[in-house]
Amino acid sequence: MPEDPRTSAVLTASPEPDGRHVRGNRTRHALLEAAFDEIYEQGFRSASLNEILRRAGCTKGSLYHHFPDKHALGVAAAAEFIGAYIRDVWIEPLRATADPLATIRAIIERHAHGGIGVDPRFGCPYQNLSQELSGIDAGFQEIFTDLFERWRGAIADALARGQAEGTVRTGIDARAVATLIVASHQGVVSMIKATQDLEVGHAAATAFFDYLESLRP
């Protein structure tokens, strides 16, 4: 889930004379980063707390100072790093564009050419976790729903702006198209992971770009 999503989750700590606050934030960040990596590679249920601690270079005492359990750590890691990933890859590029169709195409091209810091053969961090835990874990479900709404909302807002700017057909339902774009993207990523074949993504991108052009006036 650039730009590795981890590079965007930058800590801002209020300076304190003894540095305890800074060190505490760094420890928390290390735990979240290690948890994100372990969960992305192994899935949440198979993720090892001992491996997370080893990656983070932290003790169990440090872990339980910041998080009551593995579940709380996993939810926080998903919210922070997958949230940063969606924000940097999708939301920010779409925020002020007058031509959202060109911007969406550029985002998909970055995916197709490995320019987003995540190997599509390993799947999308959002998709991997949502498939594992949606419907069985309320804490994670809340995160997935919030991220989806922000993602879809950013695309819908950009499409509506494009309609006002004359770069997108006025007759389309921006929210419905945004839903289709997210669903199509996630479906293609799923097929790439299932087949371990990047050409699946390249073939889908060609058809998807034709669809985007059909949305122009």
* DSSP annotation string for 37-65: HHHHHH-TTT--HHHHHHHHT--HHHHHH
pLDDT of residue 22: 56
Indicate if the alpha-carbon torsion angle 175, 179, 180, 184 is positive or negative: positive
pLDDT of residue 123: 82
Name every residue whose Cβ is closer than 8 Å to that of residue 131 and which is 6 or more positions away in sequence: none
pLDDT of residue 120: 72
Using CB atoms within 10 A of its CB, is residue 70 exposed (0-12), middle (13-18) or buried (19+)? middle
Return the domain boundaries, the chain: 5-214
Closest CA to 189 of 207, 206, 208, 204: 204
CA distance 193 to 94: 26
Render pLDDT for 33-65 as a digit per residue (tens, 0 to 9).
999 999 988 999 999 999 999 999 999 999 999
Average pLDDT, the chain: 88
Indicate if the alpha-carbon torsion angle 156, 160, 166, 171 is positive or negative: positive
pLDDT of residue 73: 96
CA distance 159 to 115: 24
CATH architecture for residues 5-214: Orthogonal Bundle (1.10)
pLDDT of residue 15: 47
Whether pLDDT at 17 is above 80? no
SS3 25: helix
Read off the pLDDT of each residue in 151-162 and give the average, rounded to a whole number. 98
Q: Which two tokens stand for residue 164?
A: 């006002």
pLDDT of residue 87: 95
Render pLDDT for 175-217 as a digit per residue (tens, 0 to 9).
999 999 999 999 998 898 889 888 898 899 999 999 999 999 9
Render pLDDT for 80-139 as a digit per residue (tens, 0 to 9).
999 999 999 999 999 999 999 999 999 999 887 777 767 777 788 888 899 898 888 898
Question: pLDDT class for 9, splitting at 50, 70, 90?
Answer: very low
CB 217: neighbour CB atoms within 10 A? 10
Render pLDDT for 132-146 as a digit per residue (tens, 0 to 9).
988 888 989 999 999
Question: pLDDT class for 12, splitting at 50, 70, 90?
Answer: very low
pTM higher than 0.85, yes or no? no
**Cβ atoms of 143 and 39 closer than 8 Å:** no
Residue 70, φ and ψ in degrees, nearest 5: -60, -40
- DSSP annotation of 12 reads -
